[in-house]
Amino acid sequence: MTTATASTSPLAGRTTLADLLPRSRARTVALVVGFALLTAAAAQITIALPWTPVPLTGTTFAVLLAGATLGWRAGGASQVLYVGLGAVGLPFYQGGESGWTYATGATGGYLVGFVVAAALVGHLAERGQDRSLATSVPAMLAGTAVIYLFGVVWLGHVIGADAVTALEKGMLPFVIGDGLKLLAAGALLPLAWRLAPRRD
């Protein structure tokens, strides 16, 4: 009985929000490019902090949405594209920065973290973790933790800081803002699913 009910659900077989659109290669490419551009736009919302090379930005919100909306493959690909386009010279990084030197500089670990976080959140979304607030927020928290892990470790390496200093410069100033962003993303996904069109 449970299996039959699940198989006849209007959203059966739709593992991510992207699956609400007709499946095609063109759709996937457009969404990957679109979320890469969204991430680039969010990176321009920048507030520099005088005591750290890491600014406040809107980027993590876009990264979490990319993973949850597209799934692990396309979500991760959108961030690979974002990082790659910035590295070859497009002004996609925070505050319009670009280039390989910047991509491998003090904030380079966060860029790698974006790719892994989008893939992780996408993996969780494909397993239904974005359907309710109780599971969506922990999924977004996991993605944010991954960004911190890569970002703080690389920051400490580049600036030659110990673990405590790296945390003070690379995580602690951003916890409240990133907490609000992950809560917003965690609430947005279940809402989007509730508003999704019910089609047979």
pTM of this prediction? 0.90
Angle of helix 175-195 relative to helix 133-159, nearest 10 degrees, comes to 150
- Give tens-digit pLDDT for 92-116: 999 999 999 999 999 999 999 999 9
Q: Write down the pLDDT at residue 41.
A: 97
Classify domain 22-195 at the CATH class level.
mainly alpha
Q: What is the pLDDT of residue 150?
A: 98
CA–CA separation, 198 and 12 (whole Å):
10
The pLDDT confidence band at residue 197, using thresholds 50, 70 and 90, is: confident
Determine the Cα–Cα distance for residues 154 and 109; give it in Å rounded to an integer: 5
- The band of 86, judged by pLDDT with boundaries at 50, 70 and 90, is very high
For residue 172, count other CB atoms closer than 10 A to its CB.
12
Place of tokens 């933790």: 145
Tens digit of each residue's pLDDT (9 = 90 or more) over 40-63: 999 999 999 999 999 999 999 999
Position 39, amino acid: T
Q: For 44-73, what is the HEC assignment?
A: CCEECCCCCCCCEECHHHHHHHHHHHHCHH
Domain boundaries, the chain: 22-195
Q: How far is CA 29 from CA 32, 73, 75, 161, in A?
A: 5, 12, 11, 40
Max CA distance (Å), the chain: 60
For residue 77 the two structure tokens come to: 């690909």
d(CA 156, CA 162): 6
Whole-angstrom Cα distance, residue 120 to residue 184?
Answer: 18
The predicted model gives 59-68 an average pLDDT of: 97
| The pLDDT of residue 188 is above 50 | yes
Question: How much is the pLDDT for 200?
Answer: 45
